[in-house]
């Protein structure tokens, strides 16, 4: 009996060890883009598993939430609970050590856009700025010294007038649309062009302009 009991204990311990070894990491990182201005990656946080960043985060960044959920973030004595929906966007300045935890019952993904340097200075204004010539489709989500974030929405078969983008930008596609799939991430250069939506479904995306 004693031998059988020891065998059971060893089996239980081995099973626990294997489960721990096979358990996903608290946060998994998948790189998407790397340019002289930005590094873009997806961080996937497992549910109810604290992710500790002992060195903090040295760069400013834009966060785009790819899933609905809720999480906490604790930095020093300050803790905040962050509810979010797919497509929500936040600015996160550089910080010291912190702990993040996904309070949802499913993994959550966050697209993180790390800014590598300081702003290059005030961008020249354009009379063809999309938010000026086409405020119906292009709206400013927020703006600071480092970025301007645009929320872009086209209804079925809608087209914009010609407009000018003065800055490089990271574009995140919220849903399937012509020439792009939901969750696609692309870098786009400064350009003057016309944009539109040839499909019968709405097209939504977010553009993060890098100053």
Give the H or E element holding residue 3.
helix 2-22
Residue at 203 is within a domain: yes
Residue 26: which pLDDT band, with cuts at 50, 70 and 90? confident
| Token reading at 130 | 């999309």
Residue at 156 is within a domain: yes
pLDDT digits (tens, 9 = 90+) for 33-51: 999 999 999 999 999 999 9
Give the pairing of strands 169-173 and 98-102.
unpaired
pLDDT at 20: 40
* 91 and 139 fall within a common domain: no
What strands lie across the sheet with 147-154, from one edge to the other? 138-143, 147-154, 203-210, 169-173, 185-188
pLDDT at 124: 73
pLDDT at 24: 55
Q: Domain ends where: 82, 115, 148?
A: 115
Give me the mean pLDDT over the 120-130 stretch.
Answer: 85
Q: Domain ends where: 115, 138, 153?
A: 115
Give how far the C-alpha of residue 30 lies from the chain's centroid of Cα atoms, to the nearest Å.
Answer: 11
pLDDT digits (tens, 9 = 90+) for 137-164: 999 999 999 999 999 999 999 999 999 9
Name the DSSP letter for residue 24. P
pLDDT at 16 over 60: no
Which of 90, 106, 86 has its CA nearest to residue 183? 86
Q: Which domain holds residue 47?
A: 24-115
| CATH number, domain containing residue 102 | 2.60.120.10
Q: CA-to-CA distance for 55 and 43, rounded, in angstroms?
A: 17
What's the pTM value of the predicted model, to 2 decimals? 0.87
Which of 68, 88, 92, 62 has its CA nearest to residue 80? 92
CA distances to 58, 69, 72, 103, 113 from 99, rounded to whole Å, are 15, 17, 8, 13, 19
Long-range contact pairs involving 116-123 (C-beta distance under 8 Å, separation at least 24) = 116/36, 116/37, 116/38, 116/39, 116/59, 117/37, 119/145, 119/146, 119/211, 120/211, 121/211, 123/166, 123/167, 123/211
pLDDT at 69 over 60: yes
Give how many domains the chain has, as a whole number. 2
pLDDT at 101: 97
Residue 91: which pLDDT band, with cuts at 50, 70 and 90? very high
Backbone angles phi, psi at 110, to 5 degrees: -130, 125
Q: CA-to-CA distance for 161 and 146, rounded, in angstroms?
A: 27
pLDDT digits (tens, 9 = 90+) for 4-13: 434 333 333 4
pLDDT at 27: 86
What is the share, in percent, of the chain residues with pLDDT greater than 90?
84
Residue at 16 is within a domain: no
| Token reading at 204 | 């939504």
pLDDT digits (tens, 9 = 90+) for 71-89: 999 999 999 999 999 999 9
* Lowest-confidence segment of 78-87, 121-130, 180-189 by average pLDDT: 121-130
pLDDT at 18 over 60: no
Calculate the dihedral angle through the C-alpha atoms of 40, 204, 188, 86, rounding to the nearest 10 degrees. Answer: -10
* 60 and 90 fall within a common domain: yes
């Amino acid at each position: 009996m004693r031998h059988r009991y020891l065998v059971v204990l060893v089996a239980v311990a081995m099973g626990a060890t294997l489960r721990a070894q096979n358990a996903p990491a608290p946060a998994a990182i998948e790189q998407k883009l790397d340019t002289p201005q930005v590094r873009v990656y997806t961080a996937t946080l497992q549910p109810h598993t604290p992710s500790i960043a002992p060195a903090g985060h040295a760069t400013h960044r834009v966060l785009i939430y790819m899933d609905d959920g809720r999480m906490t973030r604790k930095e020093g004595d300050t803790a905040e609970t962050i509810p979010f929906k797919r497509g929500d966007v936040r600015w996160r300045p550089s910080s010291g050590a912190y702990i993040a935890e996904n309070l949802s019952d499913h993994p959550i993904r966050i697209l993180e856009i790390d800014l590598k340097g300081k702003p290059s200075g005030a961008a020249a204004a354009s009379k063809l700025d999309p938010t000026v010539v086409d405020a119906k489709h292009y709206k400013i989500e927020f703006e600071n010294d480092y970025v301007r974030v645009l929320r872009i929405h086209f209804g079925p078969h809608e087209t914009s007038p010609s407009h000018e983008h003065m800055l490089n930008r990271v574009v995140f596609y919220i849903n399937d649309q012509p020439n792009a799939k939901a969750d696609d991430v692309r870098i786009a250069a400064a350009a003057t062009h016309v944009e539109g939506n040839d499909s019968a479904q709405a097209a939504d995306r977010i553009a993060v302009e890098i100053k």
